[in-house]
Structure 1
Amino acid sequence: MLLGLVSGAVAGAVVGLLYAPKKGEDTRRAITKKGDDYIKGANKSIHDLSDSIGHKVDALKARTKATVSSSKSEEKINKAKAEMHDMAS
């Protein structure tokens, strides 16, 4: 949904720039800048999503290890790891 919202905003900005009374070179420069900004934003969103998924996977692994652990101390350690990953995501 966020990607659609950002895409719509960029498309609106591009259309606005195309109809603005500027020289062609200025318009192309502005479109290039907006495109670069869009790509940077999309890359950041993808990176954040990837980090979040990684933390959730690590938390799930730690919970699984806690469930099948052979000792109470190992179980507590893995539960603590899972909680840390939950806080990071």
Structure 2
Amino acid sequence: MSNNGNTVLGILAGTAVGAVLGILFAPDKGSNTRQRISDEAQLAKQRLAETATELKEQVVSTATTKKASIDEQVDSIISNASYKADDVISSLERKLKDLKAKNKKFQKTS
């Protein structure tokens, strides 16, 4: 995303510089040149605003997608942990039952 944004900004900056240099070196009256520079600056400003809006929308979309993915992964981890906890509890209950049975045998023999 960073490279994409830098590329767009570089293209916009290059376009603006080229337009301004082209206007400055073109033979025309000073007032016409200043007006053209002003018009080009406004156009560049609009393009930059549009690009910023598009980049913002892309970031929001990507963040939303990543959040949904992370939420799914967290739910999966919690579910797996729950099943493993149940397995551990069942295993411990079986061992406790076996220990109680062995303890009764020892108590009968004493």
TM-score strictly above 0.5: yes
Name the counterpart of 1:54. 60
State the shift of 1:68 in Å. 2.6
The CA distance in 2 between the partners of 1:64 and 1:20, in whole Å, is 56
**Stretches (4+) displaced over 6 A:** none
| Range with bigger deviation, 5-14 or 30-39 | 5-14
Q: Which runs of 5+ in 1 are unaligned?
A: 72-89
SS at match of 1:22: coil
May I ask how many residue pairs the two structures share in their alignment? 71
Any idea what the Cα deviations from partners look like across 1:11-47, whole Å, max 9, x if unmatched? 1111111121111111111000100111111111111
SS at match of 2:31: helix
SS at match of 2:27: coil
Matched residue type, 1:48: E
2:46 equivalent to 1:37: no
**RMSD over aligned Cα atoms:** 1.6
More helix by share: 2
Matched residue type, 1:43: A
Structure number with bigger Rg: 2
Q: Which runs of 5+ in 2 are unaligned?
A: 1-6, 80-110
The CA distance in 2 between the partners of 1:12 and 1:67, in whole Å, is 49
TM-score, normalised to structure 1, is 0.71
> Equivalent pairs: percent with the same residue?
28
The CA distance in 1 between the partners of 2:61 and 2:27, in whole Å, is 49
